[in-house]
Chain A
């Protein structure tokens, strides 16, 4: 088999295996679905209760998707995949096969993309049913989600390879690092209600720019020009995140080979 063909077959094998494992872990799958759905319903109830806030419902749906659902699903999911490979000893096993590191990386990305797509469908189905509107370009929104997923997977590889040695650590690390980032990123509250110092600090968190970019398209119908800064930030962050993720994964392979 030609090398490029083998790379594709291996990539799909990794993605298929991850999705199959996810499917078999029924309880995990239920929590995976319940979390964003509940968030969306709760926010819907709060916003519907206050007429003055109803206009913010569209932005809330976008924030929950990018800031919360994809964060836990793609970043948390990737960290959990790496931790599980280490815990089960399957990583050294994979190293004895001709699995190309890029195929593994891409396999994880594809699996997370498919899971993200399901999150989008699920969350927006609920959102549309309670009156949320999507106002902007579907293509631009899709691109922002794609860059967000790549960024989260890159960060997931970085955190998983460098820090998470056991599955239990994943939950703790995500809660400790992730939840403050979600708050700062404007997932739950608008940036404007935060103190000045917090707003300034929030500007350096990638989550804020992901949120603002997707909210801009989905809730306010903004286009390329209006989101130029957010898109540039997201593009650079995505590149950095992937580079860091790949470098961390290589480091992990080196460490596991030496053990």
Chain B
């Protein structure tokens, strides 16, 4: 079966900076794949290459089975792009923005009117039909931005940190909309700093660092790679004593920044953990099942700031 997007061993330099170092990823039709990684790891460069905004130096990218560098500028019809910055026309009404972009994609008049009406309804923009886009709140503008990126029914939707610039409520709304797109079979490649976003929306996640993919898989597959099923975060005046006790119990210990994390073989209660660490001057402890945050930290190592969680 032809993949919606296939990226093989792609390299990209900006001057002497090797931004993509053998990046590879395959996305099947209908999948939602999240690209996660620290700032500067090359996520946006991947999206810019897929959107035909940037050329790549070597490797191969195939969009709907066709080599990307052999496709004309009209290949942009295959992709819809939505970034965190709402690039819309503030003096126009929402539907006028949609009509403008629909015409750029060459939709016929009948098709254009139907599609604009459909998206206005789907994204619940009807109440703002006579509001200039510049007067909409950030969340509603981002909603419209997402609608614009879908105006031409793209084969692949590229979302570059789509909820980064909106408040929590708007983010939840956008998540529901993206879930709706996912459930209707839209193929999506998204980058995010919110691991919870990836965990909620993505069928697979690719963790990136230094221009390459460190791990890729579904969230349960990635969680299964962790050497534990739960993580206890511990504060103690005598860290060394905690480490020795934990190792003695067969637990693994991780130190990220100033935080000590104990990887537990199964989810234990707080009481069980406190009892196990008795006499090690523990002042605070919390415990949760492993999440994508933990996988991320495990794979990325100790020397970086983890992306935010909600």
Contacts and interface: CB of A to CB of B under 8 A. Distances in A.
Given A89-B85, A89-B87, A257-B54, A94 B104 contact: yes
Given A17-B100, A20-B96, A24-B132, A98 B91 contact: no
Contacts of B63: none
- Interface centre among B88, B104, B108, by most chain A C-beta atoms within 10 angstroms, is B104
A100 B92 contact: no
Interface residues of A, number: 28
Q: Most chain-A CB neighbours within 10 Å: which of B88, B96, B105? A: B105
Nearest to A7: B106
B92 A96 contact: no
B13 interface: no
Nearest to A3: B74
Most buried by B among A12, A13, A25: A13
Given A17-B100, A88-B90, A98 B106 contact: yes
A24 B91 contact: yes
B231 interface: no
Interface in A1-50: 1, 3, 5-6, 9-10, 12-13, 16-17, 20-21, 24-25
A96 B76 contact: yes
A17 B76 contact: no
Interface residues of B, number: 29
Given A21-B91, A96-B51, A96-B81, A10 B73 contact: no
Contacts of A93: 81, 83, 87-88
A6 B106 contact: yes
Given A92-B53, A96-B79, A12 B103 contact: yes
Contacts of B54: 257-258
A95 interface: yes
Contacts of B81: 93, 96
B103 A96 contact: no
B101 interface: yes
Given A98-B76, A98-B77, A9 B103 contact: yes
Contacts of A9: 103, 106
A1 B79 CA distance: 17
B73 A96 contact: no
Interface in A242-259: 257-258
Contacts of A94: 104
Contacts of A258: 54
Contact of A24 (B52, B53, B83, B92): B92
Interface in B17-56: 48, 51-54
A100 B88 CA distance: 19
A10 B105 CA distance: 8
- Indicate the member of A1, A9, A93, A258 with the most B CB atoms within 10 Å: A93
A13 B103 contact: yes
B92 A20 contact: yes
Contacts of B88: 88, 90, 93
Nearest to A89: B87
Interface of B: 48, 51-54, 73-77, 79, 81, 83, 85, 87-92, 96, 100-101, 103-106, 108, 132
Given A96-B53, A98-B106, 9 more contacts: A1-B108, A6-B106, A10-B103, A13-B103, A88-B87, A88-B90, A90-B87, A92-B83, A97-B76
30 contacts: A3-B74, A9-B106, A10-B103, A10-B106, A17-B100, A20-B91, A20-B92, A20-B96, A24-B91, A24-B132, A88-B87, A88-B89, A88-B90, A90-B89, A92-B83, A93-B81, A94-B104, A96-B51, A96-B76, A96-B79, A97-B76, A97-B104, A98-B73, A98-B74, A98-B75, A98-B104, A98-B106, A100-B73, A257-B53, A258-B54
Per CB-CB distance, the 7 closest pairs between chain A and chain B, nearest first, are A93-B87, A13-B103, A1-B106, A96-B81, A24-B91, A89-B87, A6-B106
Interface of A: 1, 3, 5-6, 9-10, 12-13, 16-17, 20-21, 24-25, 88-90, 92-100, 257-258
